[in-house]
């Protein structure tokens, strides 16, 4: 009888661990495609700067190291970040600062911040 209880406890522990692993993985593995404007987050947060009239400044800021985001058509702002395996799509996105794009990547939310790991980008 004690042996059966032990196996039941082991099985329950394994199943709970597997469920937790799936829940943690799902938090950052939602593939999304978003259309919107590539933002220079420093100017957007501080001054609300957007649009074609700000594009030259936005490009200079993101190329200089300021954080980059996307203002989706629904009004949601996502922080953009590079993949650790291949950051080339993120680097390419900097060329579109101030412009409308379609961006695809993996969305994650952490501490209230919505972010997208950039996998591809194209002009609209």
In a domain, 8, yes or no: no
Reported as a single tens digit per residue, the pLDDT across 70-111 is: 999 999 999 999 999 999 999 999 999 999 999 999 999 999
Q: Which range marks the domain in which residue 41 is found?
A: 30-123
**Looking at residue 37, what is its pLDDT?**
98
Residue 19 lies in a domain: no
In-domain check, residue 12: no
The tally of domains found in the chain comes to 1
Whole-angstrom distance, CA of residue 124 vs CA of residue 117: 19
The pTM score is 0.77
Q: How far apart (Å, rounded) are the C-alpha atoms in residues 52 and 48? A: 13
Supply the mean pLDDT for the chain. Answer: 86
Count of other CB atoms within 10 angstroms of residue 57: 16
The CATH number of residue 109's host domain is 2.40.50.500
- 76 lies in a domain? yes
- Does 2 reside within a domain? no
Listed residue (70, 84, 75) closest to 115, CA to CA: 70
The stretch 38-61 carries a mean pLDDT of 96
User: Considering the domain boundaries, does residue 6 fall inside one?
Assistant: no
């Amino acid at each position: 009888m004690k042996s059966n209880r032990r196996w039941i406890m082991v099985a329950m522990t394994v199943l709970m661990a597997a469920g937790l692993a799936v829940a943690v993985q799902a938090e950052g593995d939602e593939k999304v495609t978003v259309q919107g404007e590539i933002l220079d987050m420093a100017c957007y947060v501080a001054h609300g700067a957007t649009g074609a009239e700000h594009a030259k400044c936005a490009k200079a800021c993101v190329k200089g190291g300021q954080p980059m985001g996307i203002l989706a058509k629904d009004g949601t702002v996502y922080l953009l970040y590079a993949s650790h395996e291949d950051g080339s799509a993120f680097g390419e996105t900097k060329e579109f600062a101030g412009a409308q794009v379609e961006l695809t990547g993996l969305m994650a939310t952490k501490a209230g911040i919505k972010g997208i790991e950039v996998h591809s980008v194209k002009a609209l």
